[in-house]
């Protein structure tokens, strides 16, 4: 069903999934958007390139997807920014920033999408994750791009139809929607899933 929608084909009935975060700084979906089936008000599917990011200090996932009406979503590039623990936090943040900037300057990216942080184990983990997210978001902001954040459950709901789907189920669905030949790393699959969520629930 999602594949048909992304390709611009008609659906038998709307699918109830959460809508986009209408304000890049807001994390609460509106009531109207929560029942959106993923199409813009005009009925046209999302078109353009989206960079999905799964931020992590030592393993940030990046996935650049292209959406063209009438076609299957296409994975253009994906990468896991792996930074060994022997390197400092500052060096890791610089690497994340450089990697995101490279993706954005080499491609005509329309939007950047990240998974919203809902739960972290402790304050130290929250600080580290926040720093990694900041490096990625700053890179996008410096390119003048809008950044959209989606709660994990919304991403799972959009991609698999279930907000309780496992990471394995999400990864399999992502590869199925993209028709991807090779197995994606967990970080790249997560990045691709949030990019798919953005395109599926976007209301332009």
Active site residues: 54, 115, 187
> Hunting for tokens 């997210």 — which residue is that?
133
The answer to whether the Cα torsion of 139, 174, 77, 37 is positive or negative is: negative
Strand spans (E) along the chain:
48-54, 59-67, 74-82, 109-115, 147-150
Structure tokens at 144: 């003048």
Which of 56, 121, 52 shows the shortest CA–CA distance to 89? 56
CB 19 within 8 A of CB 30: yes
Which of 62, 56, 19 shows the shortest CA–CA distance to 150? 19
Structure tokens at 162: 């279930």
The bridge status of strand 59-67 relative to strand 48-54 is antiparallel
| Start-end of H helices in 35-145 | 89-106, 123-142
């Amino acid at each position: 069903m999602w594949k048909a929608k992304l390709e611009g084909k008609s659906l038998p009935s709307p699918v109830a999934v959460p809508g986009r975060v209408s304000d890049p700084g807001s994390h609460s979906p509106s009531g109207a958007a929560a029942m959106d089936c993923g199409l813009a008000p005009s009925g046209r599917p999302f078109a353009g390139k989206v960079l999905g990011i799964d931020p992590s200090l030592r393993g940030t996932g990046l996935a650049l997807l292209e959406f063209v009406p009438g076609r299957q979503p296409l994975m253009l590039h994906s990468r896991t920014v792996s930074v060994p623990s022997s390197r400092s936090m500052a060096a890791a943040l610089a690497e994340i920033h450089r990697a995101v900037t490279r993706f954005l300057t080499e491609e005509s990216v329309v939007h950047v999408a990240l998974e919203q942080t809902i739960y972290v184990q402790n304050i130290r983990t929250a600080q580290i994750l926040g720093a990694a997210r900041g490096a990625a978001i700053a890179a996008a902001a410096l390119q003048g791009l809008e950044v959209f954040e989606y709660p994990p459950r919304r991403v799972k709901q959009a991609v698999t139809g279930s907000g309780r789907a496992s990471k394995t189920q999400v990864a399999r669905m992502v590869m199925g929607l993209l028709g991807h030949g090779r197995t994606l790393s967990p970080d790249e699959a997560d990045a691709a899933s949030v990019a798919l969520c953005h395109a599926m629930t976007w209301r332009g």
